[in-house]
């Protein structure tokens, strides 16, 4: 009996639809080759800035319910042209992307970084870089708590509250230890404990406590500012990094940059408990300036498919995608149109 | 009649005393050469982790009052060995360094970055980098508002409140526009307006409004995550960056790293109104692992003296220090002991 996987697809804005088209091409190839019993039932949702401009909807309740009942979500990128005045009344990031991450309890935001030998890093000598950032996804400065009083007056006060719970910190820390244990056995907590003493204290104490359950993992701590230094001077030192939502946002863009481009950076917004569907997306944004020109690199979206397949337990299909990307990257010379990259990787998957 | 400048000197911990000794050497040389009418009346304060370990004091009220009445402060670096259990009960950073910055209303934290032609950057091709980060110093996530409830239990909640005021944001933004106007006329606001909508909104609106008073300055905006990408792919694009306390902390360490080492990064914690003394310090920490070995590069401390002299209106003396550092760096070959670097720069100042 074939297994059916319902996949919600949100191509989004800008280059989103282009990279998602290639990602689905590769998905189909990999499933055909390595998981022929599995049927992907794909339902596309037109959400993002474009949709909002059309009918004023950001995430209608009915569509949200349908997405919630899917087995997994593939997302391209959402967001319109920066400073588009027609978008001033909406916050697509908070209303759509963060809403999905928070409501679907994607407490793990998994962001691997590899420097492929043939990809030119902006770093003179990046070394053998292969780490994963385990970014908390449902707490911290991202919760949206806070507000303004006396807005627009000389007496305005704008507060943002970072909320961190023992429950939330422990579950992500345990997940990160699990990753480290399955990798090279090294976990680095990144925070700013000397200044953010309340939140930092909770994170630090939690890591110290959970460490007792993972004697095979060596634990290290870095302040976030110092971590950025090591990202450019010695990124190969990292194996697994665990950090909060905001620091993880910053570090993973930096990681994308040092690994030779955000065009290769994949991510999974994961609910490990399986209560809700997990969501896979490239780290990059919608890049409206190059949209529709077949200039975008779909590799990050394709690698997100590898994460998606792995999450669904389709390990062979996932490995095929990763290997095909690695092989494709190894022979890259100049720029190719988006679809050509997707075609090339699909062919490699089928080999 | 000679002008007397009272200078509070806080050598601090680790490499602090070593780099401060060289900074004072260069200060004396520069004042002798270019401001012979000015007498520096230096008073040293033994503060930091070492002092705390001796007598349990972090910043005694009497010493604080004396420091407050000085004309300026030179600080080396404070902080003990990471994870020293004897320091667990104190927070030298919050109790000393941040206390000085906050109580002395150092709302401008000025951090220039230059990539000197002969210094090897970890970046393959940094380009012609010369920017300054204007970091807010008295608000944002650094205020220390927040707390824990049910600490140590599975129900612990740890909050951190970022507090931003129209008053605080406007004064730093105006300062930054002034800097941009006197430099290459380009100001980049860095924040995370799409997520931290309350604080980000205040910052963005303030920059947009103040921009009207500086028609010669071109204004740009970057999310903090995107800014880190440009720091490694195109740092030469920046002229003046204005940002909050936490983002400024992160970006200036990254800036130090790409410019070839935090050993060159100077900073001024400035109260432009002159109500309280401003404080000048290298961006680097106390590096206890190399303390007392004459291994530290005193250049960042020496460049902090250049900022100090400029702040005091001793422009010629300041220019002499900057030029001497530039000349010294141009001929650097291998590592030299801390004092040798200070001697070399002093000689160049006197030339
Ligand atoms: C678009 C934005 C809300 C998002 C984030 O800050 O998490 C993005 O930067 C990311 O890293 O996925
Ligand atoms: C030591 C620490 C409190 C300080 C900060 O976070 O501001 C340091 O990192 C800096 O940048 O001066």
Q: Say if residues B303 and B315 touch (Cβ distance below 8 Å).
A: no
Q: What b-and-e string marks burial along A262-272, b requiring 16 or more CB atoms within 10 Å of the CB?
A: bbbbbbbbbbb
Residue B120 gets which letter from DSSP? P
Nearest chain A Cα to B146, which residue?
A198
- Helices A338-350 and A299-311 meet at what angle, rounded to 10? 40
CA-to-CA distance for B138 and B215, rounded, in angstroms?
28
CA distance A1 to chain B (A): 44
Q: Is A195 in the pocket of ligand 2 (CB under 6 A)?
A: yes
pLDDT at A163: 98
pLDDT at A88: 84
A228-256 pLDDT, tens digit per residue, is 999 999 999 999 999 999 999 999 999 99
- Is B253 within 8 Å of A146 when comparing Cβ atoms? no
Q: How far is the CA of B229 from the centre of ligand 1 (A)?
A: 14
- Helices B16-34 and B299-311 meet at what angle, rounded to 10? 40
CA distance B334 to chain A (A): 19
pLDDT at B324: 98
Sheet containing B140-149: give its strands across: A140-149, A157-165, B157-165, B140-149
Q: Is B249 in the pocket of ligand 2 (CB under 6 A)?
A: yes
pLDDT at A314: 98
The per-residue pLDDT of chain B, averaged, comes to 96
Q: Is B195 in the pocket of ligand 1 (CB under 6 A)?
A: yes
- Is B198 within 8 Å of A121 when comparing Cβ atoms? no
Active site residues of B: 142, 192, 225, 249, 253
Backbone angles phi, psi at B316, to 5 degrees: -65, -45
Please classify residue B265 by burial: count the beta carbons closer than 10 Å to its beta carbon, then call 0-12 exposed, 13-18 middle and 19+ buried.
buried
Task: For CA atoms B60, B63, B67, B69, give the dihedral sign.
Answer: positive
B125: how many CB neighbours lie within 10 A of its CB?
A: 10
Q: Which residues of A touch B161 (CB under 8 A)?
A: 146, 159-162
A233: how many CB neighbours lie within 10 A of its CB?
A: 17
Pinpoint the alpha helices (H) of chain B.
16-34, 49-55, 61-68, 92, 99-103, 166-182, 197-211, 224-233, 245-258, 299-311, 315-330, 338-350
pLDDT band, residue B111 (cuts 50/70/90): very high
Q: Is A321 in the pocket of ligand 1 (CB under 6 A)?
A: no
Give me the DSSP letters along B139-199.
Answer: SEEEEEEEEEESTTSTT-EEEEEEEEEHHHHHHHHHHHHHHHHHTTSEEEEEE-TTTSHHH
Task: For CA atoms A81, B230, B205, B180, give the dihedral sign.
Answer: negative
Class level of CATH domain A1-106+266-351: alpha beta
Q: Mapping DSSP to helix (H, G, I), strand (E, B) and coil, where does residue B138 land?
A: coil
- Is A194 within 8 Å of B93 when comparing Cβ atoms? yes
- Helices B16-34 and B315-330 meet at what angle, rounded to 10? 120
Q: What contacts B275, CB < 8 A, 6 or more positions away?
A: B105
Statement: residue B237 has pLDDT above 90: yes
Annotated binding site of A for Mg(2+): 225, 249, 253
- Is A232 within 8 Å of B122 when comparing Cβ atoms? yes
Identify the helix (H) or strand (E) that includes residue A158.
Answer: strand A157-165
B170-221 pLDDT, tens digit per residue, is 999 999 999 999 999 999 999 999 999 999 999 999 999 999 999 999 999 9
B282-335 pLDDT, tens digit per residue, is 999 999 999 999 999 999 999 999 999 999 999 999 999 999 999 999 998 889
pLDDT at B71: 98
Statement: residue A171 has pLDDT above 80: yes
Q: Is B239 in the pocket of ligand 2 (CB under 6 A)?
A: no
Q: Chain-centre distance of CA A196, in angstroms?
A: 25
CA distance A238 to chain B (A): 17
What Cα–Cα distance (Å) separates residue A320 from each residue in A40, A302, A338? 17, 11, 20
Statement: residue A291 has pLDDT above 80: yes
Please classify residue A61 by burial: count the beta carbons closer than 10 Å to its beta carbon, then call 0-12 exposed, 13-18 middle and 19+ buried.
exposed
- Is A164 within 8 Å of B152 when comparing Cβ atoms? no
- Is B148 within 8 Å of A202 when comparing Cβ atoms? yes
Of ligand 1's atoms, which has the minimum distance to the CA of residue A253?
11
Catalytic residue selected from A142, A239, A320, A328: A142
Q: How far is the CA of B295 from the centre of ligand 1 (A)?
A: 41
Q: What is the mean pLDDT of residues A120-137?
A: 96
Q: What percent of chain B has pLDDT over 70?
A: 100
Q: Minimum-distance ligand to the CA of A91?
A: 1
Q: Is B350 in the pocket of ligand 1 (CB under 6 A)?
A: no
Q: Say if residues A154 and B165 touch (Cβ distance below 8 Å).
A: no
Annotated binding site of B for Mg(2+): 225, 249, 253
The fold for domain A121-259 equals Isopropylmalate Dehydrogenase (3.40.718)
pLDDT at A210: 98
Ligand 1, atom 7: nearest CA belongs to which residue? A249
Q: Say if residues B19 and B76 touch (Cβ distance below 8 Å).
A: yes
Q: Chain-centre distance of CA A351, in angstroms?
A: 28
Identify the helix (H) or strand (E) that includes residue A303.
Answer: helix A299-311
Radius of gyration of chain A (CA): 20
Catalytic residue selected from A107, A192, A239, A320: A192
Beta bridge mates, A267? A281
A78-128 pLDDT, tens digit per residue, is 999 878 899 988 889 999 999 999 999 999 999 999 999 889 999 999 999
Q: What contacts A83, CB < 8 A, 6 or more positions away?
A: none
DSSP-derived pairing of the beta strands A108-114 and A130-136: antiparallel
Beta bridge mates, A164? B158
Nearest Cα to A9, choosing from A57, A72, A56? A72
Q: Is A229 in the pocket of ligand 2 (CB under 6 A)?
A: no
Q: If you search the block for the tokens 């190399």, which residue do you land on?
A: B290
Q: Is A197 in the pocket of ligand 2 (CB under 6 A)?
A: no
CA distance A171 to chain B (A): 11
Best of A159, A203, A206, A247 to disrupt the B interface (most B CBs within 10 Å) is: A159
- Is A197 within 8 Å of B94 when comparing Cβ atoms? yes
Q: How far is the CA of A185 from the centre of ligand 2 (A)?
A: 30
Chains A, B: CB contacts within 8 A come to 202
CA-to-CA distance for A349 and A321, rounded, in angstroms?
6
Radius of gyration of chain B (CA): 20
What is the pTM (predicted TM-score) of this model? 0.97
B43-57 pLDDT, tens digit per residue, is 999 999 999 999 999
Q: Which residues of B touch A91 (CB under 8 A)?
A: 194, 197
- Measure CB to CB from residue A199 to each of B150, B160, B228 and give the nearest one: B160
pLDDT at A117: 87
Ligand 2, atom 2: nearest CA belongs to which residue? B93
Q: Mapping DSSP to helix (H, G, I), strand (E, B) and coil, where does residue B295 land?
A: coil
Q: If you search the block for the tokens 């998602």, which residue do you land on?
A: A20
**Is A253 considered catalytic here?**
yes
DSSP-derived pairing of the beta strands A266-270 and A108-114: antiparallel
What Cα–Cα distance (Å) separates residue B57 from each residue in A238, A252, B62, B67? 37, 40, 11, 15
For A12, left (φ over 0), alpha (ψ -120 to 50), or beta? Answer: left
Q: Is A93 in the pocket of ligand 1 (CB under 6 A)?
A: yes
pLDDT at A312: 98
Q: What contacts B142, CB < 8 A, 6 or more positions away?
A: A195, B98, B102, B245, B246
Please report, for chain A, the start and end positions of each structural domain, with discontinuous segments joined by +: 1-106+266-351, 121-259
CA distance A249 to chain B (A): 6
Ligand 1, atom 5: nearest CA belongs to which residue? A249
Superfamily of B1-110+267-351 according to CATH: Isopropylmalate Dehydrogenase (3.40.718.10)
B196's tokens? 């931290």
Q: What is the mean pLDDT of residues B12-23?
A: 98
**Topology agreement, domain A1-106+266-351 and domain A121-259:** yes
Q: If you search the block for the tokens 């190894």, which residue do you land on?
A: A330
Statement: residue B1 has pLDDT above 80: no
Nearest Cα to B283, choosing from B113, B80, B51, B44? B113
- Is A142 within 8 Å of B195 when comparing Cβ atoms? yes
Statement: residue B118 has pLDDT above 90: no
Statement: residue A1 has pLDDT above 80: no
Q: How far is the CA of B249 from the centre of ligand 2 (A)?
A: 6
- Is A167 within 8 Å of B154 when comparing Cβ atoms? yes
Q: Minimum-distance ligand to the CA of B197?
A: 1
For B316, left (φ over 0), alpha (ψ -120 to 50), or beta? Answer: alpha
Give the distance between the most distant pair of CA atoms in chain B: 67
B16's tokens? 């602090």
DSSP-derived pairing of the beta strands B140-149 and B157-165: antiparallel
| Count of CA atoms in the C-beta half-sphere (13 A) of B188 | 24
First to last CA, chain A: 26
- Measure CB to CB from residue A253 to each of B142, B228, B253 and give the nearest one: B228
CA-to-CA distance for B318 and B312, rounded, in angstroms?
9
Residue A276 gets which letter from DSSP? S
């Amino acid at each position: 009996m074939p297994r059916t996987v319902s996949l919600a697809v949100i191509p989004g804005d800008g280059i989103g639809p282009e990279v998602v088209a290639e990602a689905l091409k590769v998905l189909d190839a990999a499933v055909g080759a390595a998981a022929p019993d599995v049927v992907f039932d794909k339902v596309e949702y037109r959400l993002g800035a474009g949709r909002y401009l059309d009918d004023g909807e950001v995430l209608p309740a009915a569509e949200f319910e349908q997405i919630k009942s899917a087995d997994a979500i593939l997302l391209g990128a959402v967001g319109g042209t920066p400073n588009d005045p027609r978008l001033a009344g909406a916050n697509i990031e908070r209303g759509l992307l963060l809403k999905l991450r928070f409501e679907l309890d994607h407490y793990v935001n998994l962001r691997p970084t590899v420097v492929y030998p043939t990809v030119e890093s902006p770093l003179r000598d990046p070394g053998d870089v292969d780490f994963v950032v385990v970014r908390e996804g449902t707490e911290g400065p991202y919760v949206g708590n806070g507000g303004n009083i006396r807005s627009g007056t000389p007496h305005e006060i704008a507060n943002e509250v970072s909320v961190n719970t023992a429950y939330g910190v422990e579950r992500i820390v345990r997940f990160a230890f699990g990753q480290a244990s399955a990798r090279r056995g090294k976990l680095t907590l990144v925070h700013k404990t000397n200044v953010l003493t309340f939140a930092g204290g909770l994170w630090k104490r939690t890591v110290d406590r959970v460490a007792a359950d993972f004697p095979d993992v060596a634990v290290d701590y870095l302040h976030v500012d110092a971590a950025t230094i090591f990202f450019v001077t010695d990124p190969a030192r990292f194996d697994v990094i665990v950090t909060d939502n905001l620091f993880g946002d910053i570090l993973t863009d930096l990681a994308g940059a040092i690994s030779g481009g955000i065009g290769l950076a994949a991510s999974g917004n994961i609910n490990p408990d399986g209560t809700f569907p997990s969501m896979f997306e490239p780290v990059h944004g919608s890049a409206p300036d190059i949209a529709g020109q077949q200039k975008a690199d779909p590799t990050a979206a394709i690698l997100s498919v590898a994460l998606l397949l792995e999450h669904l337990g389709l390990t062979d299909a996932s490995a095929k995608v990763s290997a095909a990307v690695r092989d494709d990257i190894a022979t890259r010379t100049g720029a190719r149109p988006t679809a050509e990259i997707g075609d090339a990787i699909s062919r490699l998957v089928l080999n």
